[in-house]
A and B are shown apart, each in its own frame.
Chain A
Amino acid sequence: MKRRLFLKNTLATGAAVVAANAGLLTPTSVLADWNKAAFSAKTTDEALNGAFGSANATESGDIKLKAPAIAENGAVTPVTVDASAIDGVESIAILASKNPQPLVCQYNFGAAAEGYVSTRIKMGETMNVIAVVKAGGKLLKAQQEVKVTIGGCGG
């Protein structure tokens, strides 16, 4: 079933996905360039490779990841990542480990921003929420399991 879904989606987005897979996609848009390779990745490691060029993140206690232990409704799981204790935060990504496409969102920060993000994400089942923070060229991460009682993907 999942395979069939994947094929359908691939066909739907057509040439763009092919281009992204082949690494041919060059960024052109005015706003941030949407990273198709990272967002269409099927595993957290692939997603991290696409987003940061490396999947090698070390656990850090300086990242405060706030997510519920039990989410009654997986379609709206509040997640807060506070990395303001770390100097020079360049980027924060939030991943849901078992979602079909694990990368949920990625934020890049300029000098006028603090390393802090709060949002709500969809989670299909019980899984880990992973926050990956890039600071000073290093990748740091924190993760937490969220138990989902009702799935967030139309189930």
Chain B
Amino acid sequence: MVFRGAQEELSQFRLGLMQGLSIFLGYLPAAVAFGVLGASTGFSHFQVAAMSIWVYAGASQFMALNLYQSGVSAPEIILATFVLNLRHVLMSTVLSKRIQGNRALRCLLSYGITDETFVLTTISSSMGPGSEEAGREITAARFAGVAIIAYSGWVIGSILGTVFADILPQLAMKSMGISLYAMFIALLIPSMKKSGRVAVVALLGAAINWMLLSELKLSAGWSVVTATIVASACGGAFCYKGGDQ
């Protein structure tokens, strides 16, 4: 019994690694770009690596370099980072209801929450590819697999970027820019086919985000989180007890 449990965990972990490979491929070029920029901003290689290891927040890290270079003080940069990352409260709340496992483990796993690991683990199934059953529950082992490979992509890419500015040819860097979006779309299409409401909520999220960005000129961070809250509230309001998913 114990043995079977361990087997199960291992296969969930492997599934997570496989699914997370798509995030790895997406983070790698972005992280290389961060490393290159960091090294040219006057951060040592070690400091660039330390930031990716400890902060692990893509957009905030780019912003921090930018602000630091313009002479903005550290407390102000930290405050801006805090605001930009508040959206993770929402994602972590959703995950706290769905990741199984004890609290210590879940606290550790929460370090791996990013926009990408959040949508990947909540939308893809724990049952493996081709499964119809998109279970609500996310096994800790699968989340760990996704989180670890995504994190490695970010950290390895950052280090490579500081050392070899041209580790990835320009063509590869640019075309890999599509990776995360291809992953998002690959998650979206099957869920839209399954449920009409999912399709409406996702389209609404996209439409609101677009409007906030182009009309109200909101920053990308605020615009995504506002669109997410509004669109999901609309979806929730029209969701009946026992309705689809």
A pairs with B: no
Residues of A within 8 A of B (CB): none
Residues of B within 8 A of A (CB): none
